[in-house]
């Protein structure tokens, strides 16, 4: 089953990094966030990727075209123009790098990959979020309900501490960065039947999270797999620092491989 990765947005809220590279190439623990997402899927045997490029997509092309240079020790003989790779640290991945245009919306990017998914189900997620979802359980849930699309829903952590106090102002309970207000949100990590593509009707201008998902819901074709575990989107510099701190702690929740 192919895995489509949305990696074309500008990431304006992380401009400290994205002025020079696309957001999925921002490094966590010395590796691009995109690599971490691909490792999540590969852990469950999903190794055929279609990366939907846009803003500064050449950075992603360069990274994978020169993957051995980035991941392995090499000897370069300038006299003969030969490259010898030592201690090869590669992955069993097949990667299609598809340029979907710098201004194309999420639905349009998915639509441009239609020839690569053909008439087969496919998986799909954003290039800026990691989690510890059980992909086997997600896929089993999708196959059981028979709908066109499964969306993983998550409960993000709150941004600020909360507390309870009495009329005197005495604090009786304090909780730092609790779970959100109880609402479930779209966390990505979709499983799609090919008929999902029929709901993308506005070409490059289609925002997947608007008409396509709304119409799928109206038609009873959209189901959600609730994931109560770890999920985090890298939306700001603070998110990047938090993810790096988790990785450096040696206990990153999404590192299931």
- Of 32, 29, 245, 257, the residue nearest 132 (C-alpha): 257
Is residue 158 in some structural domain? yes
Is residue 183 in some structural domain? yes
Task: Quickly state the pLDDT bin for 116 (edges 50, 70, 90).
Answer: very high
SS3 145: helix
Lowest mean pLDDT among 28-32, 180-184, 227-231: 180-184
Is residue 257 in some structural domain? no
pTM equals 0.89
- Of 62, 53, 73, the residue nearest 9 (C-alpha): 53
Q: Where in the sequence is the domain holding 70, given as residue range(s)?
A: 2-248
pLDDT score at 16 = 80
* Range 207-227 average pLDDT: 95
pLDDT score at 183 = 79
Is residue 232 in some structural domain? yes
Is residue 117 in some structural domain? yes
Q: What is the 3-state secondary structure (H, E, C) of 236-248?
A: CHHHHHHHHHHHH
Note the helical H segments in the chain.
15-18, 33-42, 57-65, 67-71, 106-111, 114-117, 135-145, 211-218, 237-248
Beta-carbon count within 10 A of 228 CB: 10
Residue with tokens 């304006």: 12
Which of the two residues, 99 and 176, has the higher pLDDT score?
99
Helices (H) and strands (E) in the chain, counts: 9, 16
pLDDT score at 94 = 97
Torsion of CA 215, 220, 222, 227, to 10 degrees: 140
Residues 98 and 53 sit within 8 Å (Cβ to Cβ) = yes
Task: Quickly state the pLDDT bin for 85 (edges 50, 70, 90).
Answer: confident
Is residue 146 in some structural domain? yes
Residue range 188-211, pLDDT digits in tens: 999 999 999 999 999 999 999 999
Is residue 174 in some structural domain? yes
CA distance 107 to 149: 14
pLDDT score at 157 = 76
pLDDT score at 176 = 55
Lowest mean pLDDT among 27-36, 57-66, 151-160: 151-160
Task: Quickly state the pLDDT bin for 161 (edges 50, 70, 90).
Answer: low
Q: Which residues contact 40 (CB under 8 A, 6 or more apart)?
A: 130, 131, 133, 135, 254, 256, 257
Is residue 253 in some structural domain? no
Percent of the chain whose predicted confidence (pLDDT) is above 90? 75
CATH code of the domain containing 114:
3.90.550.10
Task: Quickly state the pLDDT bin for 71 (edges 50, 70, 90).
Answer: confident
- Number of folded domains in the chain? 1
């Amino acid at each position: 089953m192919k895995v489509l990765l949305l990696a074309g947005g500008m990431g304006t809220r992380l401009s400290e990094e994205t002025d020079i590279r696309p957001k999925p190439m921002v490094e966590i623990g010395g590796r691009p966030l995109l690599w971490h997402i691909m490792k999540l899927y590969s852990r469950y045997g999903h190794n055929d990727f279609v990366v939907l490029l846009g803003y500064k997509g050449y950075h992603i092309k360069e990274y994978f075209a020169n993957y051995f240079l980035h991941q392995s020790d090499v000897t370069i003989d300038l006299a003969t123009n030969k490259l010898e790779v030592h201690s090869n640290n590669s992955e069993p991945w097949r990667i299609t790098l598809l340029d979907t245009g710098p201004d194309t919306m999420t639905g349009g990017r998915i639509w441009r990959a239609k020839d690569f998914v053909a008439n087969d189900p496919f998986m799909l997620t954003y290039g800026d979020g990691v989690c510890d979802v059980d992909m086997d359980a997600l896929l089993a849930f999708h196959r059981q309900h028979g709908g066109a699309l499964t969306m993983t829903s998550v409960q993000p952590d709150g941004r600020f501490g909360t507390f309870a106090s009495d009329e005197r102002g005495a604090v009786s309970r304090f909780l730092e960065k609790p779970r959100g207000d109880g609402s479930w949100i779209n966390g990505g990590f979709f499983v799609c039947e090919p008929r999902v593509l029929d709901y993308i009707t506005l070409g490059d201008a289609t925002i997947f999270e608007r008409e396509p998902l709304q119409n799928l819901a109206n038609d009873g074709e959209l189901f959600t797999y609730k994931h109560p575990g770890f999920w985090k989107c890298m939306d700001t510099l603070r998110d990047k620092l938090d993810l790096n701190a988790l990785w450096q702690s040696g206990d990153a929740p999404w590192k299931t491989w």
